[in-house]
Amino acid sequence: MKKIALLYLWMLACISYAHSQDNTPLTDSTVALTNGGEYGEAIAVYTRILSQAPDDAEVLALRGHAYAEINEHEKALQDLALSLNADPSYWPAYRWRADLETDLEDFEAAIRDYDEALQYADSAADKETILVNRAVAKRLSGDHAGAAADFREALKYNPNSVCALENLGGLLPHMDQPQEAIACLEKAIQLDSTFEGGYGNLAYLYSNLGQYQKALDISNRLLSFKPGEAYALNNRGYIKYKLNDLQGALEDINNAINVLPVNAYAFKNRGLIYAALKRNSDACTDFQKALSLGFARYHGTEVTELIETLCKMR
């Protein structure tokens, strides 16, 4: 099953595997196979167990989860339903079914199942994970307020949950709450100094607030451990442009285009730099390239307006 991911700003769902609740060695060894990506072997073992104990809710759920990981969705849903028929309080089956329903974009069903999982889960760690995953489903369904509430609730169970901090920090800019987003992302990168998205989002937020030196510092930190990352190079180039370091900006965005020559935003940004350097012909060429790469479709009319302003007299 694919991990749930979205936006740059983006979200990550904290998907994890359960261990056998009764610590059965055979079941736990099979969970280890699942964790290692050996789903076929795990399914074979679960099937042998179920031939002797066909109503074992835990094993049915584990096999269903393994089926989901190899995109056998119908078999996964069938096993998870059988698990819940055998034990309506077995919360991992609700959660795994909800994870799959989110992947299948059946968000209403997913949220219902996360509700059930939350009702039966015991530990703070389990409730934290369920809340984060339910928040992702709400975010994907367009319920930003509900998603933010769930991320905040998850942080009550674990104030140092990097996953919840990252996700909430990625969501809040869409709700016009940049300061809380910055606080979340600053804490997230303190806890996880290699979280690429946190640095990218912080640089974006500081840039939007006109705090370009802070944005540059964050971008430099990101590129210190991801030196060839095309989007980070493009973003830093734009920040340097706003700081009037035009040659530094041009170098970064040239490098970004060399790495990823289909990024419409990079051509738009380089066009802005060329315009500032009075190289209007080069600017207009880049603006046209940005349009040909779909800028207007995904990002609006800015490039079209720039062409009207700068290029109509060419």
The length of the chain, given as a count of residues: 314
In a domain, residue 284? The reply is no
* pLDDT, greater one: 29 or 244: 244
Round to whole Å and give the CA distance between 245 and 268: 17
pLDDT, residue 35, reads 65
pLDDT digits (tens, 9 = 90+) for 194-232: 988 889 999 999 999 999 999 999 999 999 999 999 999
22 domain-assigned: yes
Other CB atoms within a 10 A radius of the CB of residue 134 amount to 30
Q: How large a percentage of the chain has pLDDT more than 70? A: 88
Lowest model confidence (mean pLDDT) among 33-37, 63-67, 257-261: 33-37
**Number of compact structural domains in the chain:** 1
Mean pLDDT, range 95-99, rounded to an integer: 97
Q: Is the pLDDT of residue 11 over 50?
A: no
Position 183 in a domain: no
Q: Does any domain span residue 309?
A: no
Angstrom CA distances, 72 to 69, 104, 108, 137, stand at: 8, 12, 21, 21
pLDDT at 16: 42
Please work out, in degrees rounded to the nearest 5, the angle formed at the alpha carbon of residue 276 by the alpha carbons of 270 and 277.
Answer: 90
Range scoring the smallest mean pLDDT among 129-143, 175-189, 195-209: 195-209
**Tokens read off for 187:** 């804490």
Asked whether residue 103 is assigned to any structural domain, the reply reads: yes
Tell me: pLDDT of 172 over 60: yes
Longest dimension (CA), the chain: 81
> Can you read off the two tokens belonging to residue 197?
């998205």
Closest by CA to 102, choosing from 15, 197, 167, is 15
What is the structure's pLDDT at 14?
Answer: 47
HEC secondary structure over 157-206: HCCCCHHHHHHHHHHHHHHCCHHHHHHHHHHHHHHCCCCHHHHHHHHHHH
pLDDT-derived band at 38 (thresholds 50, 70, 90) equals confident
Residue 117 within a domain: yes
pLDDT above 90 coverage of the chain, percent: 82
Predicted local distance difference test score (pLDDT) of residue 12: 40
Considering the domain boundaries, does residue 123 fall inside one? yes
Whether the Cβ atoms of residue 287 and residue 307 lie closer than 8 Å to each other? yes
Digit-coded pLDDT (tens) for 298-314? 889 999 999 999 997 55
Q: pLDDT: is 27 or 84 the higher one?
A: 84
User: pTM (2 decimals)?
Assistant: 0.79
Q: Does 252 score more than 50 pLDDT?
A: yes
Question: What Rg do the C-alpha atoms of the chain give, in angstroms?
Answer: 24
215 located within any domain: no
Domain extent, residue 35, equals 1-153
We report the CATH number of the domain holding residue 141 as 1.25.40.10
For 206, residues 6+ apart whose C-beta sits below 8 A from its C-beta are: 182, 212, 214, 215, 218
User: Which residues does 133 contact at the CB level (< 8 Å), separation at least 6?
Assistant: 4, 13, 14, 15, 95, 98, 99, 102, 114
